[in-house]
């Protein structure tokens, strides 16, 4: 079945089938020939600072979205001299800005234009990664996430803003220089959607917020706690999907990341810095992904949800069993992982 392409300018389209109903992004505009998927063609990994695009952002000055210098938002100056964190549009966006959003049914399936936003958050140093950052430097990154979130959530059609960070080639980074990505999409992330529905059901049945119950239990039984401060808890989850997986969540019940205060983000930065530096030291700088899950910004009330960051070190490749069953295999008990990380 051929899907007619009416909107040629989009780099992608969103599709969903009637069984899983999960949305996927299909890159339709990047003109990748099937032959380029052959095993011998290795994906490029930009490592040399001389060719690193993020080391030469002065060339992109006109396109920059946000510039921070030593903890403060600044204007884009002529020389860009003192920048410490930048936000720029992604050069190879998964979704692009559009004044309208076209959605349709194609037989039993649904499709939608790949409309949205795709940005990169770049920190200055080519080699120093977030696991080596000070609390103040991590705070700046959290503030940049927060600021971009507030802007993107109010754009037309945007239902969800995803913020994630890939560290290391094994974790899917294509550029060595530390950077995070922000994708604002017209649909809700399927994983999050599932979690939201479960949390809602739980609230209906038990009149309890499931995330609050979990955090209260964890604080009474601190085997899996890696780090905590006044506002945040870092723990290895009871049912970890990967070895050394960590969740960073607020102790106070908060569904929406965008509603965190500056004071709360100071504690968040301390918790994030502790988690990432423990990974860096304890596992000798492993590849990892971290991502934010927060209540969708589609205007509905998600009081039963709680925002959090998940950090997943790339300690094993996804194998057939995980793909076939959806059951992840973690090779260490989270209680043992937490004990190890606490000591780092």
Rounded to a whole number of angstroms, the minimum distance from the CB of residue 142 to Zn ion is 21
Contact 113, 11 (CB under 8 A): no
CB atoms within 10 A of CB 157: 18
Per the listing, tokens 């990664």 go with 129
Q: For residue 158, what is the DSSP state?
A: -
Rounded to a whole number of angstroms, the minimum distance from the CB of residue 308 to Zn ion is 30
Rounded to a whole number of angstroms, the minimum distance from the CB of residue 54 to Zn ion is 4
Q: For residue 303, what is the DSSP state?
A: T
CA 11 – CA 216 distance, rounded (Å): 45
Site string for Zn ion, 32-71 (x = CB under 5 A): -----------------x--x-xx----------------
Per CB under 5 A, 177 contacts Zn ion = yes
Q: Of 126, 212, 253, 281, which lies in the binding site for Zn ion, with binding defined by CB under 5 A?
A: 126
CA 270 – CA 266 distance, rounded (Å): 6
Site string for Zn ion, 135-174 (x = CB under 5 A): ----------------------------------------
Per CB under 5 A, 214 contacts Zn ion = no
Size of the site for Zn ion (CB under 5 A): 6
Q: Which lies closer to Zn ion via its Cβ, residue 45 or residue 109?
A: 45
Contact 68, 143 (CB under 8 A): yes
Per CB under 5 A, 314 contacts Zn ion = no
Contacts of 298 (CB under 8 A, 6+ apart): 159, 160, 188
CA 243 – CA 261 distance, rounded (Å): 32
- By beta carbon distance, the residue nearest Zn ion is 52
Q: Summarize as ranges the residues that interact with Zn ion (CB under 5 A).
A: 49, 52, 54-55, 126, 177
């Amino acid at each position: 079945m051929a899907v007619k392409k009416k909107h040629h300018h989009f780099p992608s389209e969103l599709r969903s089938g009637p069984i899983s109903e999960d949305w996927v992004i299909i890159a339709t505009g990047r003109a990748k020939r099937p032959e380029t998927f052959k095993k011998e063609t290795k994906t490029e990994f930009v490592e040399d600072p001389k060719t690193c695009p993020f080391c030469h952002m002065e060339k992109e000055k006109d396109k920059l979205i946000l510039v921070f210098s030593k903890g403060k938002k600044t204007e884009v100056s002529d020389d860009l001299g003192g920048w410490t964190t930048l936000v720029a549009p992604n050069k190879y966006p998964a979704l692009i800005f559009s004044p309208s959003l076209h959605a349709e049914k194609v037989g039993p399936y649904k499709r939608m234009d790949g409309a949205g936003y795709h940005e990169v958050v770049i920190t200055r140093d080519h080699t120093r990664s977030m696991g080596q950052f000070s609390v103040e430097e991590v705070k700046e990154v959290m503030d940049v996430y927060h600021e971009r979130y507030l802007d993107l959530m109010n754009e037309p059609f945007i239902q969800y803003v995803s913020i994630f960070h890939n560290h290391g080639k094994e974790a899917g980074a294509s550029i060595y220089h530390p950077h995070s990505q922000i994708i604002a999409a017209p649909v809700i992330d399927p994983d999050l959607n599932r979690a939201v529905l479960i949390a809602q059901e739980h609230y209906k049945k038990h009149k309890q917020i499931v995330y609050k119950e979990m955090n209260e239990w964890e604080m009474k039984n601190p085997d899996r706690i890696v780090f905590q401060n006044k506002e945040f808890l870092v723990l290895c989850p009871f049912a970890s999907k990967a070895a050394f997986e960590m969740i960073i969540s607020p102790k106070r019940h908060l569904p929406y990341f965008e509603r965190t205060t500056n004071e709360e983000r100071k504690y968040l930065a301390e918790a994030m810095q502790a988690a990432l530096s423990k990974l860096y030291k304890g596992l000798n700088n492993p590849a990892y992904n971290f991502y934010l899950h927060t209540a969708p910004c589609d205007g509905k009330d998600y009081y039963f949800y709680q925002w959090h960051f998940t950090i997943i070190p790339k300690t094993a490749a996804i194998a057939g069993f995980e793909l076939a069953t959806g059951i992840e295999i973690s090779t260490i008990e989270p209680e043992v992982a937490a004990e190890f990380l606490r000591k780092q």
